[in-house]
Structure 1
């Protein structure tokens, strides 16, 4: 990035803030914020124990009501690089499988293999 683009990114981050939207897809998968500390995201996504993720200083999580297309998770912050790294780390926790279960970006398009029988 050039210096001017970096400065514009910093100004936008301070005034408006950056955000990345993810979706948690899967039967029984849940995302909640901790009651005591709103910076801790708790993911239940098929593992034995829930996965806890802490937001670094300057970033925050928001979990919205789920619908047919999964549970929306929003990562917000002032630094675009930090927000992108947190979103990528969340996505690595549960990668999409062949049935389409896991964590993906909101606008990400991915084909799901159909179940076909023998011919």
Structure 2
């Protein structure tokens, strides 16, 4: 039995949720999100919030029970407060700056890398070596951060590259004579 799945998702004031044709839509001050519900869960909108129940006792429906509840909870959190991901650039000459909506990265390559974010994602560079990614959808914010990090992931010998602010890069010892 899912401990988190049986808890209702509370809908705060200023947020509206609607379930139409196996699609849940959540609207709030930060934006609007929708999610196609799986067939093997039953979702109801009540006075205490949104409750999720498995449609039957199969292993697949019990697995999707908690996952669906967590996704709906993340949608409600995203349209009220939003999600952020912070990146750090480590290396001599590694810089980031905004050009309109695009992010221009100088990463020691022969050319500058220009990244165009997806709709609903806001990228800011408070310092030339910091990147802040904000948006209402947790998955899209994480995917955007991963795509930017993939341009130059941190390497283990000098630690140069783009890393998450909470990431620890394991360092290796170099060659010895």
TM-score tier after normalising by the smaller chain length: 0.7 to 0.9
Distance 2:104 2:127 in 1: 15
TM-score (norm 2): 0.59
Gaps of 5+ in 1: none
How many residues are treated as equivalent by the alignment?
111
> Aligned equivalents of 1:93 and 1:115: distance in 2?
24
Aligned to 1:113: 172
Is 1:40 aligned with 2:102? yes
Q: Which residue among 135, 153, 160 is the counterpart of 1:77? A: 135
Indicate how the Cα distance of structure 1 residues 4 and 28 shifts in structure 2: closer, same or farther if over 3 A, else same: same
Match in the other structure for 1:59:
121
Structure with larger RCO (C-alpha < 8 A, sep 6+) = 1
Pick aligned residue for 2:159 from 83, 89, 100: 100
| Alpha-carbon distance, 1:110 to partner | 1.5
Q: Deviations over 1:32-56 (max 9, x none)?
A: 001xx2x210000011111000111
- The answer to which structure has the higher strand fraction is 2
Aligned equivalents of 2:67, 2:169: Cα separation in 1: 33
Cα deviation, residue 115, structure 1: 4.6
Report the RMSD for the aligned CA atoms in angstroms: 1.5
So what's the TM-score if we normalise by structure 1? 0.85
Q: What's the secondary structure of 1:99's corresponding residue?
A: coil
> Which runs of 5 or more structure 2 residues have no equivalent in the other structure?
1-65
